[in-house]
Structure 1
Amino acid sequence: MTDILSQSEIDALLAALTSGEVNPNELKEEEKTKKVRTYDFRRPNKFSKEQMNSMQVIYENYARTLATFLSAQLRNIVQMSVLSVEQLTYDEFIRSLPDPSIIVIFNMAPLEGNGIFEIQAPLAFGMIDRLFGGSGGVPNKTRALTEIERAIIERVSQRMLDLLSEAWENITKLNPKVEFIESNPQFAQIVSPMEMVILISLETKIGEIEGMINFCLPYIVLEPVIDKLSLHFWFARTSSEQNPAHRLSLQKRIETARIPLHVLLGTTTITVRELLDLQVGDVVPLDKKVEQDLDVLIGNSQKFYAKPGILNKRLAIQITGFQMKGGDLA
Structure 2
Amino acid sequence: MDEVLSQNEIDALLSAITSGEMDAEELKKEETEKKVRVYDFKRALRFSKDQIRSISRIHENYARQLTTFFSSQLRTFVNIAVTSVDQIPYEEFIRSIPKLTVLNIYSVSPLDGRLIMEINPNIAYALIDRILGGKGNSLAKTNSLTEIEKLLLTQIFEKGIDCLIEAWSSVVDINPILEEFEENPQFIQMVSPNETVVVVSLTTTIGETSGVINICIPHVILEPIIPKLSAHYWMQSTKKERDYQSYNMISKHLKEADVEIKAMLGQADITINEFLKLQKNDVISLTQSIEDPLPLVINSKPKFIVQPGKFKNKMSVQILDEIKGVKDDDE
Normalising by structure 2, we get a TM-score of 0.78
- In structure 2, the partner of 1:182 is 182
- In structure 2, the partner of 1:241 is 238
Counterpart of 1:244 in structure 2: which amino acid?
E
Which segment is superposed worse, 172-181 or 118-127?
118-127
Residue 282 of structure 1 and its aligned partner are, at CA, apart by 11
Report the 3-state secondary structure (helix = DSSP H, G, I; strand = E; otherwise coil) of the residue aligned with 1:191.
Answer: coil
1:143-172 Cα offsets, whole Å, 9 max, x none, are 533333333322322333322222222322
Which segment is superposed worse, 262-271 or 251-260?
262-271
Aligned partner of 2:297 among 284, 295, 307: 295
Which segment is superposed worse, 170-179 or 282-291?
282-291
Indicate how the Cα distance of structure 1 residues 143 and 34 shifts in structure 2: closer, same or farther if over 3 A, else same.
same
8 Å CA contact 2:137–2:208 kept in 1: the answer is no
8 Å CA contact 2:263–2:294 kept in 1: the answer is no
- In structure 2, the partner of 1:254 is 250
Counterpart of 1:4 in structure 2: which amino acid?
S
- In structure 2, the partner of 1:214 is 214
Residue 201 of structure 1 and its aligned partner are, at CA, apart by 0.4
Counterpart of 1:186 in structure 2: which amino acid?
Q
- In structure 1, the partner of 2:5 is 3
8 Å CA contact 2:113–2:221 kept in 1: the answer is yes
8 Å CA contact 1:121–1:142 kept in 2: the answer is no
Residue 67 of structure 1 and its aligned partner are, at CA, apart by 1.7
Which segment is superposed worse, 79-88 or 150-159?
150-159
- In structure 1, the partner of 2:165 is 165
Residue 310 of structure 1 and its aligned partner are, at CA, apart by 7.5
Which segment is superposed worse, 154-163 or 5-14?
5-14
Normalising by structure 1, we get a TM-score of 0.78
Q: After superposition, where does 1:267-278 map in structure 2 within 5 Å?
A: none
Residue 313 of structure 1 and its aligned partner are, at CA, apart by 8.0
Report the 3-state secondary structure (helix = DSSP H, G, I; strand = E; otherwise coil) of the residue aligned with 1:123.
Answer: helix
Q: Which runs of 5+ in 2 are unaligned?
A: none
Q: Which runs of 5+ in 1 are unaligned?
A: none
Indicate how the Cα distance of structure 1 residues 190 and 32 shifts in structure 2: closer, same or farther if over 3 A, else same.
same
Report the 3-state secondary structure (helix = DSSP H, G, I; strand = E; otherwise coil) of the residue aligned with 2:222.
Answer: helix
Indicate how the Cα distance of structure 1 residues 292 and 157 shifts in structure 2: closer, same or farther if over 3 A, else same.
same
8 Å CA contact 1:165–1:176 kept in 2: the answer is yes
Indicate how the Cα distance of structure 1 residues 228 and 303 shifts in structure 2: closer, same or farther if over 3 A, else same.
farther
If you compute each CA radius of gyration, which structure gives the higher value, 1 or 2?
A: 2
1:209-238 Cα offsets, whole Å, 9 max, x none, are 2111111011122222223222222222xx
Indicate how the Cα distance of structure 1 residues 304 and 35 shifts in structure 2: closer, same or farther if over 3 A, else same.
farther
Q: Partners of 1:309 and 1:118 in 2: how far apart?
A: 75
8 Å CA contact 1:117–1:215 kept in 2: the answer is yes
Residue 295 of structure 1 and its aligned partner are, at CA, apart by 1.6
8 Å CA contact 1:302–1:327 kept in 2: the answer is no
Indicate how the Cα distance of structure 1 residues 196 and 146 shifts in structure 2: closer, same or farther if over 3 A, else same.
same
- In structure 2, the partner of 1:109 is 109
**Corresponding pairs, count:** 317
Residue 208 of structure 1 and its aligned partner are, at CA, apart by 2.0
Counterpart of 1:296 in structure 2: which amino acid?
I
Residue 265 of structure 1 and its aligned partner are, at CA, apart by 5.6
Q: Partners of 1:278 and 1:250 in 2: how far apart?
A: 57
Indicate how the Cα distance of structure 1 residues 145 and 29 shifts in structure 2: closer, same or farther if over 3 A, else same.
same
Q: Partners of 1:77 and 1:129 in 2: how far apart?
A: 14
- In structure 2, the partner of 1:321 is 322
Identity %: 37
1:22-75 Cα offsets, whole Å, 9 max, x none, are 22xx54443233321111122222222222122112111222222222222322
Q: Partners of 1:154 and 1:313 in 2: how far apart?
A: 69
- In structure 2, the partner of 1:92 is 92
